[in-house]
Structure 1
Amino acid sequence: MRVHVADHPLITHKLTVLRDQDTPSPVFRSLVSELMTLLAYEGTRNVRVEPVDIVTPVAPTTGVRIAEPRPLIVPILRAGLGMLEGMTTLLPSAEVGFLGMARDEETLEPTTYAERLPDDLTDRQCFVLDPMLATGGSLIAAIDYLLARGAEDVTAVCILAAPEGLRAVEEAMADRDVTVVVGAVDDHLNEHGFIVPGLGDAGDRLYGTV
């Protein structure tokens, strides 16, 4: 497993505004999409391509295009939906699947309540979108779900991560072809399983249900 922290001043700047409790939902949603495009640039660094011959206005040349089978983008509902537009902006030819997962706020264990994915993911590159990597339970379950269906490699893109969650994912995916791209690694998890300093509940803040 590989971990990449996207250390960039624009990401840090946008994260600062995102963290502010006074940032309203419309601005929050816009910032998540902008951040996702920046993080997607890092997350797609190893996306598979194949050569293609084209003719420019000046001369023939060989370039590349996204290879088949097309990548699959999988936002984890509901908060991952806020990241989808930023990802598809950068990777418009990808397919999109959905995975609904919720965390029990007492046990902190994930449960799957919905899925809309191809049955066979053999040789597919998958990109999982989840704003917060807290305990790691939901992300581990989502990655396991995709690998069990034959996904070739999985990249998870998260806005924030807690050290505890990163360690849990690293232990669970030590020998798997998995990459985790995050905008920042925060200090710790509190007793309620929230990232500190974090930004609160990403889903609530995205959709104005605080």
Structure 2
Amino acid sequence: MALTIINHPLILDKLTRMRRQETSSKDFRENLNEIGQLMAYEVFRDIPLTEVEITTPVAKAKGQTVGIPVVLIPIIRAGLGMTEGIQKLVPTSRIAHVGLYRNEETLQPVQYYAKPTEEMDKSYVLVVDPMLATGGSGAKAIEIAKGWGAKNIKFVCLVAVQEGVDKLQKEHPDVEIYTASLDPKLNEKGYIVPGLGDAGDRIFGTK
């Protein structure tokens, strides 16, 4: 499984803004959506195209259009913060949902919601979450997507650590990972260091 770190200057600038403790929820959300949109250019690089014939104001011409359904699967809550930016580029994409929370004692994911879309087996699927920490939630969400029939799956996050990457590579070696940063480590509570803090709380202004 490939790991792609998308370290474009505009992404790194926005990520630095998000890391700052004093950044407001509004600015955090806006930068997260913008990074999601910028990352999507690289993530969709290999999406299949279909040739079509169109008519321009001048003449008939051949063109290309996205030839496969696209499904975004945000891991609720924080994954919702990245979907808007990606969906702006692919407005026809469908959104499935996976609700997971982390047991703070065991650090294991607990599922509380899951809703697929149609034609999962024929779709280009992105599982989306800003953080890839222990990897438990990401691995579980991919497992759920595969249970729905999804085959062409990519995992897209903003910040990752090697432990999370290793877990996804071990459990889902067929899934490519895209991130904007590979941070150094996890702390004793399973949070990424330096990371962003709790992305869900920062997106929605909760504690």
* Shared fold, TM over 0.5: yes
Gapped regions of structure 2 (runs ≥ 5): none
Q: Report if the CA contact (8 A) 1:120-1:149 is conserved.
A: no
Moved more, 156-165 or 52-61: 52-61
Q: Distance in 2 between matches of 1:44 and 1:200?
A: 28
Which residue does 1:7 correspond to in 2?
A: 7
Which residue does 1:140 correspond to in 2?
A: 139
Written as runs of structure 1 = structure 2, the 5 A alignment for 1:125-164 is 125-164=124-163
Percent of residue pairs bearing the same amino acid type: 41
Which residue does 1:207 correspond to in 2?
A: 204
Aligned partner of residue 93 in structure 1, secondary structure: coil
Which residue does 1:60 correspond to in 2?
A: 60
**Displacement after TM superposition at 1:61 (Å):** 1.7
Distance 1:65 1:119, change over 3 A: closer
Which residue does 1:106 correspond to in 2?
A: 105
Q: Distance in 1 between matches of 2:199 and 2:7?
A: 21
With normalisation by structure 1, the TM-score equals 0.94
Aligned partner of residue 44 in structure 1, secondary structure: helix
Moved >3 Å (runs of 4+): none
Match of 1:193 among 190, 194, 197: 190
Q: How many residues align?
A: 207
Q: Distance in 2 between matches of 1:60 and 1:118?
A: 36
Aligned partner of residue 150 in structure 1, secondary structure: coil
**Displacement after TM superposition at 1:152 (Å):** 2.2
Gapped regions of structure 1 (runs ≥ 5): none
Match of 2:181 among 179, 184, 190: 184
**Displacement after TM superposition at 1:120 (Å):** 5.5
**Displacement after TM superposition at 1:90 (Å):** 0.9
Residue deviations 1:16-69 (CA, integer Å, cap 9, x gap): 01000000111111111111101111111122221111122222221111224x
Question: What RMSD, in angstroms, separates the aligned Cα atoms of the two structures?
Answer: 1.2
Q: Report if the CA contact (8 A) 1:124-1:150 is conserved.
A: no
